[in-house]
């Protein structure tokens, strides 16, 4: 990967990976730090990383850093947030979806975000998350079912 | 094989139409054995897709490599940088050109002075050589003509005067020296044979003032020297003609003497 390609990666994927991280944590500074560390590692490994596989490398690196942080910190922080925020009134579907996402287990959330937000195939998601294709499909099915169920329950509440 | 741990994957493939006939047969068999799971399959909405939000990472520039970090600035200010570069090049060329011309102008007088000094040194050397030769000739003349010590002082005066005329060209001074040398030779000859020729010539070429025999050491100017030289040459030619006319009447011994005169004159 050339320097120009590296900067193209920054322009193309920095927003995506930052969004991916923010969907897993509300800590903006932590998300920025992970993005910074991710692209720093990509720069260090630019000679070994093919440009056309750089996006998967970026997301895999960011995901692993996220997992490391979650394992070192409170693993259930998001569940507490959901319980705290669910008492609020939401009129925006975006807020409802974000709240529904927070109810998902981290692995399901990562899988469905990579599938719906980034358009990855099941194989690519498996490579990023270190899962088999069948596991990815299971998590995505469960995540989508949970979200649909959650949205339906919110609609009933509103 | 479809189990309760992976049936969602088969459900997803079935909804997306990715199962083969054998897999569909296995799935139907599994649903027959687990009818409570059929509701999950029927509740799944494949069109329920998350819509990406527009979230931007505002610190992209800090992620880019330093070398290309300035690339947008370069593209943005490239025209300004090009103009500035051209201006600097022109300014530097003008500066060095002006400096060069100034130095050339300043060096011209120095070079001229150097030439003059060099020429003066050469002239002094020539004059010194000529002075030595002149002194030698004077000594010879003194012996021959038995002149006084005052004549030597006059000769030294000539040298001083000629040094002051160092701005004259080298060829001119050499001509003067040659003429003087010729004159001295002729005088030497005339001292023995025709002394009156030189005396009359000097009287004619000099000013209205009376010129004595001693004035053959006067510093002649080019014009005077050239005229004097031409006259001397004329007289030499006349003398030679006289000798030639006499040679016809004398024997070969006299001819040999005349040829010796010619060689000495050169």
Q: Which residue among A17, A116, A145 places its CB closest to the CB of B44?
A: A145
Question: Could you tell me if A85 and A157 lie in one domain?
Answer: yes
Whether B24 shows a pLDDT value over 70: the answer reads yes
Q: Is the dihedral of CA A43, A60, A103, B39 positive or negative?
A: positive
Number of H helices, E strands in chain B: 11, 0
CB pairs under 8 A between A and B: 84
Question: Could you tell me if B126 and B39 lie in one domain?
Answer: no
CB B191 within 8 A of CB B145: yes
Question: Could you tell me if B38 and B124 lie in one domain?
Answer: no
Question: Could you tell me if A110 and A124 lie in one domain?
Answer: yes
Torsion of CA A44, A45, A47, A51, to 10 degrees: -120
- Other CB atoms within 10 Å distance of the CB of residue B158: 19
Whether B9 shows a pLDDT value over 60: the answer reads yes
Q: Which residue among B48, B52, B68 places its CB closest to the CB of A4?
A: B68
Provide the pLDDT for residue B212: 46
Q: For chain B, how many structural domains are there in total?
A: 2
Residue B2 lies in a domain: no
Instruction: Indicate the average pLDDT of chain A.
Output: 83
Question: Could you tell me if B167 and B253 lie in one domain?
Answer: yes
Question: Could you tell me if A86 and A145 lie in one domain?
Answer: yes
Whether B7 shows a pLDDT value over 50: the answer reads yes
Provide the pLDDT for residue A142: 92
Separation CA A46–CA A6 (nearest Å): 7
> B209-218 long-range contacts, Cβ below 8 Å, gap at least 24?
B213/B145, B214/B147, B214/B150, B214/B151, B214/B154, B216/B183, B216/B184, B216/B187, B217/B134, B217/B138, B217/B151, B217/B154, B217/B155, B217/B158, B218/B158
Question: Could you tell me if B132 and B247 lie in one domain?
Answer: yes
Provide the pLDDT for residue B148: 53
Question: Could you tell me if A86 and A153 lie in one domain?
Answer: yes
Q: Which residue has the higher pLDDT, A124 or B82?
A: A124
Question: Could you tell me if A46 and A86 lie in one domain?
Answer: no
Residue B123 lies in a domain: yes
What domain range is B175 assigned to?
112-265
Provide the pLDDT for residue A83: 45
B53 touches chain A (CB under 8 A): yes
Question: Could you tell me if A48 and A92 lie in one domain?
Answer: no
Question: Could you tell me if A68 and A83 lie in one domain?
Answer: no
How much is the average pLDDT of A81-92? 50
The CATH number given to whatever domain includes residue A13 is: 1.10.1740
Instruction: Indicate the average pLDDT of chain B.
Output: 66
Question: Could you tell me if B32 and B147 lie in one domain?
Answer: no
Residue B157 lies in a domain: yes
User: Among all residues of chain A, which has the CA nearest to that of B6?
Assistant: A138
Question: Could you tell me if A69 and A81 lie in one domain?
Answer: no
Provide the pLDDT for residue A25: 85
- Asked if A148 lies within 8 A of B62 by C-beta distance, the reply is no
Only one residue has tokens 């010879």, namely: B140
Q: For chain A, how many structural domains are there in total?
A: 2
Question: Could you tell me if B153 and B30 lie in one domain?
Answer: no
- Asked if B62 lies within 8 A of A113 by C-beta distance, the reply is no
User: Among A20-24, B42-46, B144-148, which is the least confidently predicted range?
Assistant: B144-148
Whether B170 shows a pLDDT value over 50: the answer reads no
Question: Could you tell me if B145 and B16 lie in one domain?
Answer: no
The CATH number given to whatever domain includes residue A90 is: 1.10.10.10
Torsion of CA B226, B227, B228, B230, to 10 degrees: 80
Q: Which of A6, A9, A15, A54 to mutate to test the interface with B (most CBs of B within 10 A)?
A: A15
What domain range is A60 assigned to?
1-73
Chain B residues inside the 8 Å CB shell of A32: 57, 59
Residue B66 lies in a domain: no
pLDDT digits (tens, 9 = 90+) for B217-252: 445 566 777 777 788 888 888 887 877 777 777 655
Name the DSSP class of B266: -
Question: Could you tell me if A82 and A66 lie in one domain?
Answer: no
């Amino acid at each position: 990967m050339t320097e120009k390609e590296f900067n193209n990666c920054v322009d193309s994927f920095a927003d995506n990976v930052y969004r991916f991280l923010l969907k897993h944590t509300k800590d903006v500074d932590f998300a920025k730090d992970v993005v910074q560390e991710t692209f720093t590692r990509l720069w260090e490994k630019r000679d070994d990383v093919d440009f056309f596989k750089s996006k998967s490398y970026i997301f895999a690196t960011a995901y692993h850093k996220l997992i490391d942080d979650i394992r070192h910190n409170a693993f259930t922080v998001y569940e507490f947030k959901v319980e705290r925020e669910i008492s609020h009134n939401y009129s925006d579907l975006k807020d409802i979806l974000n709240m529904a996402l927070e109810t998902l287990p981290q692995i399901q959330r990562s899988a469905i975000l990579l599938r719906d937000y980034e358009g990855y195939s099941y194989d690519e998601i498996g490579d990023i998350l270190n899962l088999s294709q069948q596991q990815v499909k299971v998590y995505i099915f469960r995540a989508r079912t949970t979200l649909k169920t959650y949205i339906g329950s919110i609609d009933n509440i509103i | 094989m479809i189990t309760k741990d992976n049936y969602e994957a088969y459900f997803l493939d079935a909804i997306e139409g990715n199962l083969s006939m054998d897999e569909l047969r296995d799935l139907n068999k599994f649903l027959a054995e687990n009818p409570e799971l059929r509701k999950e399959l029927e509740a799944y909405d494949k069109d329920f897709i998350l819509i990406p939000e527009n979230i931007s990472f505002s610190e992209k520039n800090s992620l880019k490599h330093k070398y290309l970090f300035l690339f947008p600035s370069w593209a943005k200010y490239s025209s300004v940088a090009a103009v500035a570069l051209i201006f600097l090049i022109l300014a530097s060329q003008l500066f060095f050109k002006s400096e060069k011309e100034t130095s050339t102008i300043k060096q011209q007088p120095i070079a001229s002075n150097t030439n003059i000094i060099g020429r003066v040194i050469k002239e002094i050397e020539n004059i010194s050589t000529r002075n030595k030769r002149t002194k030698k000739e004077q000594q010879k003349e003194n012996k021959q003509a038995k002149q006084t010590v005052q004549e030597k002082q006059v000769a030294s005066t000539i040298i001083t005067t000629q040094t002051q005329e160092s701005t004259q060209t080298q060829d001119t001074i050499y001509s003067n020296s040659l003429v003087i040398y010729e004159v001295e030779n002729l005088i030497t000859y005339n001292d023995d044979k025709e002394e009156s020729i030189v005396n009359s010539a000097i009287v004619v070429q000099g000013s209205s003032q009376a010129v004595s025999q001693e004035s053959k050491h006067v510093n002649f100017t080019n014009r005077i020297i050239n005229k004097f030289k031409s006259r001397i040459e004329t007289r030499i030619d006349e003398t030679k003609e006289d000798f030639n006319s006499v040679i016809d009447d004398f024997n070969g011994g006299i001819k040999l003497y005349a040829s010796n005169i010619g060689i000495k004159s050169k």
